[in-house]
Structure 1
Amino acid sequence: MGVFFCDLFCRKCDMEVISDRGESIMKKNILFISNYPSPYRVEFFNQLGAVDEINLTVIFLENPSQQTHRSKDWFNTDYSFFQAVFLTKKISLGGKRVIHPELLSWVKKPFDEIIFGGYSYPSFMWAMEFLKRNKRPFSMEADGGLISEDSTIKYKIKSHFLSMPSKWYSSGRVTSEYLTHYGADASKIVTYPFSSLCQKDLMKKEDLAKKKEESRALLGFSSDQRIALNIGQFIHRKGVDVLLKAIAKVDPEILFLIVGGKPTEEYQEIIEKEKISNVKFLDFMPKDKLSYYYDAADFFVCPTREDIWGLVINEAMAHGLPTISTDRCGAGVELIEDGQSGFVVKTGDVDALAQAIQKISKMDLKAMGEKALERVQGYTIEEMVKVHIRSFMS
């Protein structure tokens, strides 16, 4: 990283710099195009931009203030190690659909690689069509993807755009199957270990028991209480209603902590109808406070109806939690070793979810948690950066 601090103040200088060893380094000029600055992506961009060989520009379609459904505290606005560009001009296409005319001037520039973080935004489609028409290669990064039963027209639209790139970055097997289903060339897919975590965020196996004891004491839970954890938005897609119906069918001695806010009217109705008394709802909280709940829990439940990835799975397993997920969660299918580090059940199946909860609660959770932790060891932002660097330099 020796040349980085010079580069931080000289980003628009010559692309050739001198390393600490006196060697000439030709920097790769990389452009990422993203929707908005999620905190884990900003961390990835900062680490990537800090590498000597990389000169990184990231274009965002939206700034944090436009993400009104998210807390300001959720965002990381430190863009120290890359050039962050926020597009401000918009042309309305009706409804929420807009085109960002400034994007075209950026993709016309001579970057060594242009990477789109998806395809579904009109501005992305427009810029991709321009590059394809002008025979300019570009890449696409897919953090996840699940094959759907599409109508003919929807399949053709997806196939048109997903087959366009000359290279694809995929978060794993499930995403690669999605990409090839819509026309991607399997030989040109680069797989990276998608994560929101840095190496320092991964628990050490020898610390799991101590962390659990300390966190339970801090939060006021007894050492012998069985605790299940769920974290997510209270929207239909996340399947909290399915979880509540499953809770009604399992051992009432298991305490379920559901982090996401105040229960909705629908959730309250299920709780009253099923006479559920072993659920505690908690508001969203900062990452450092949430860590105590991960540490205090015995296992994690993700009842989602659909998540193309689901970073909460990475986070739970990184805290040594055996995890139950549905089969419509990319991370669940990719990371969980069924019966060893957790279970994968059919989405929306209340009985299957209840059976998995009942079964896992009686298993050796310590051994399963260690398996979960082992499984996510390579899933860090540092490893993501290494994969991208190798691809850029090849």
Structure 2
Amino acid sequence: MPLKVGVLTTHPIQYQVPWFRLLAQKPGIDLQVFFALIPNAAQQGDGFGVAFEWDIPLLDSYPYQVLTNVAQAPSVTSFNGCDTPEIFAIVRRQPWDAFIVNGWVAKSCVQLLAACRLNQVPCIVRGESNNLSWRPGWKRQLQRLLVAQYGACLYIGQANQRFYLDSGVPPEKLFFTPYCIENDRFAHQADHLRGQKSTLRKKFHLDLHTVTFLYCAKFVPKKRPLDLLQAIAGLKEHGKATGQVLMVGDGQLRPACEAFVQEHHLPVQFTGFLNQAEIVAAYVAADCLVLPSDAGETWGLVVNEAMACGLPAIVSDQVGCYADLISPGQTGWTYPLGQIDQLGDRLTTAIDLSSIGLATMGKSAQQKVMAEYNYQKVVAGISQALNFVSG
């Protein structure tokens, strides 16, 4: 008999759907995915600074059900925005072998855990939390009590693994399911566009021969976009080469960033939000990604995307993926969060390497994510966890 497995998540997410599809195709698995909400354009765009819908298919090739969301203000960005008590009856009435839940950031996720505990169904969690930032004692204790309720934990990288270990989860209950993106899709699109790099630079109003840094994220406080601009301004003030910057995205800090660029006369171009089918053009036009985020960046999948497209990356030491994806001098560089001068030093190192040297690093970065951070490894880890909880 195949294992009857449920998955619950807040809404269709482009980074999760590929492993839903692979798991649904796996022999011996009878999969059903549950969503708390299918967001409209306004709900999807919350935090991005613009209403939008993803331009890639997210609801095909796996069975799913949209739960009844009784939240007063349905949302994918607040804990109470996903409230689906219907899950209690679903867990009780069918013979489930296990459920997988994507974290505990929404009420629906906690409702599923409670339903599983009440009905003695193993619940496996895949969350993003890490140990890179300080947490008060009460919060550490609460998280310790919470993670003890899961039958197994799927960790996405080293900092996430350390979070679970620090929270008292025994190693035998931990299974590696790397955070990843559709590497092949990004790599193939980048290869297709690579010969058009000069055209793309003209499209984005960039100089054809200047090392180009890419910021590709929401313009929100935790992403710290002004850190990059301040570092560029510091290089200019000291008479050093600055390269140029392409800033992709939107959000509350964009006006402040545009004002800073205008005030300091910096070589920076803004594109606004780019959807999935458009974003690869920005990666191809650039030479190196920069992600200055604080510890709120629990992973940073934009780094995976950039690397799959052949770019190295400069990230702060509070970005969740830094220990996994950044090999200094090989796939990128790190620097201490908020240390603008040291970020400037990393930018100078990249500029000195030139576009040719950065492309060589980008190939190493691409090889790393293609080989080690892919959905086949995600499904392998999930399969191990399912065997563990059902054995």
Superposition TM-score tier, normalisation by shorter sequence: 0.7 to 0.9
Between the aligned residues of both structures, percent identity stands at 23
Partner amino acid for 1:346? Answer: P
Higher helix proportion: 2
- Offset, 1:266: 2.1
Note if 1:372 corresponds to 2:365: yes
- Distance between the aligned counterparts of 2:71 and 2:60, measured in 1? 30
Deviations 1:339-377 (A, max 9, x none): 221111111221111111111221221321122112112
- Offset, 1:47: 2.5
- Distance between the aligned counterparts of 1:116 and 1:91, measured in 2? 19
Aligned equivalent of 1:299: 288
For residue 20 of structure 2, give the secondary structure of its aligned residue in structure 1: helix
For residue 261 of structure 1, give the secondary structure of its aligned residue in structure 2: coil
**Greater CA deviation, 78-87 or 162-171?**
78-87
| Higher relative contact order, structure no. (Cα contacts within 8 Å, ≥ 6 residues apart) | 2
Structure 2 residue corresponding to 1:83, chosen from 56, 59, 63: 63
- Offset, 1:145: 2.7
Deviations 1:206-229 (A, max 9, x none): x97x95442223442554221111
- Distance between the aligned counterparts of 1:253 and 1:327, measured in 2? 22
Gaps of 5+ in 2: none
Structure 2 residue corresponding to 1:105, chosen from 66, 86, 89: 89
Note if 1:384 corresponds to 2:369: no
- Distance between the aligned counterparts of 1:178 and 1:147, measured in 2? 9
Note if 1:56 corresponds to 2:31: yes
TM-score normalized by the length of structure 1: 0.84
Tell me the matched-pair count.
365
- Offset, 1:315: 0.6
Gaps of 5+ in 1: 1-25
- Distance between the aligned counterparts of 1:151 and 1:348, measured in 2? 22
Deviations 1:187-240 (A, max 9, x none): 211102221214343369xx97x9544222344255422111110111111110
Structure 1 residues 178 and 126: CA distance shift in structure 2, 3 A: same
- Distance between the aligned counterparts of 1:40 and 1:60, measured in 2? 15
- Distance between the aligned counterparts of 1:41 and 1:75, measured in 2? 15
- Offset, 1:321: 0.8
Structure 1 residues 118 and 292: CA distance shift in structure 2, 3 A: same
**Greater CA deviation, 227-236 or 137-146?**
137-146
Note if 1:266 corresponds to 2:244: no
Deviations 1:23-75 (A, max 9, x none): xxx32211111111112212321232123332211111221224352644316
Deviations 1:133-172 (A, max 9, x none): 5543221112453443222322222111122212111112
The aligned runs of 1:1-394 (5 Å cut-off) are: 26-65=1-40, 66-69=43-46, 71-74=51-54, 76=56, 78-90=58-70, 97=80, 99-108=83-92, 109-143=94-128, 145-202=130-187, 211-220=193-202, 221=206, 223-250=208-235, 251-261=240-250, 264-273=254-263, 275-305=264-294, 306-363=296-353, 364-378=357-371, 379-393=373-387
TM-score normalized by the length of structure 2: 0.84
Structure 1 residues 144 and 315: CA distance shift in structure 2, 3 A: farther
- Distance between the aligned counterparts of 1:39 and 1:155, measured in 2? 30
For residue 90 of structure 1, give the secondary structure of its aligned residue in structure 2: coil
Larger Rg: 1
Q: Are the counterparts in 2 of residues 229 and 301 from structure 1 also a CA contact under 8 Å?
A: yes
- Distance between the aligned counterparts of 1:47 and 1:84, measured in 2? 14
Structure 1 residues 258 and 146: CA distance shift in structure 2, 3 A: farther
Partner amino acid for 2:44? Answer: Q
